[in-house]
Amino acid sequence: MLEINDRLSIDESELDYEFARSSGPGGQNVNKVETKVTLKFDIEASRSLTDSQKTRISEGLASRITRDGVLRVTSQRHRTREANRHAAIGRFIELVDDALAVRAPRKKTKVSRAAKRRRIEGKKRRGQVKRLRKPPKIDD
């Protein structure tokens, strides 16, 4: 069981791994060993998540989820398959936990009178600098 937070654990059997050759440096090893790991998690088919959790994850991680509802996390940072697998699992836990976090609604605020005054003063200063750049008028 993968512990996402104190209220949610996901069974590791729900995760699917795909391995491929990594790009980047690594010498001869990179050409023959499949160390890149893609972790796949089918959100809709998950037995560990409630319907509301599925919705929150789908909305929060929409850019990482395929059309068929599969969350994909890739890791190819390390030189070994096992290290990349652990990195992908760590990133998966982080993403799901963040997607499930309840955010406080934003409170509307007003711009303070002092901030408005500073903004106007800055604009006047800038206008004065631009006026000083003009060539002087020649009065006949």
Cβ–Cβ < 8 Å for 93, 57: no
Residue 81, pLDDT score: 72
Q: At residue 140, does pLDDT exceed 60?
A: no
27 pLDDT tier (thresholds 50, 70, 90): low
| Average pLDDT along the chain | 79
Confidence of residue 125 (pLDDT cuts 50, 70, 90): very high
Query: In this structure, what DSSP letter does residue 6 have?
Result: T
More confident residue, 115 or 137: 115
* Percent of the chain scoring above 90 in pLDDT: 17
- Write down the pLDDT at residue 112: 94
CB 47 within 8 A of CB 14: yes
Please name every residue paired with 2 in a beta bridge, in sequence order, or none if there are none.
10
For the residues 63-88, what does the mean pLDDT come to? Answer: 79
Domains of the chain: 2-100 (3.30.160.20)
| Burial class of residue 56 (count of CB atoms within 10 Å of its CB; 0-12, 13-18, 19+) | middle
pTM to 2 decimal places:
0.58
Residue 28 has pLDDT above 70, yes or no: no
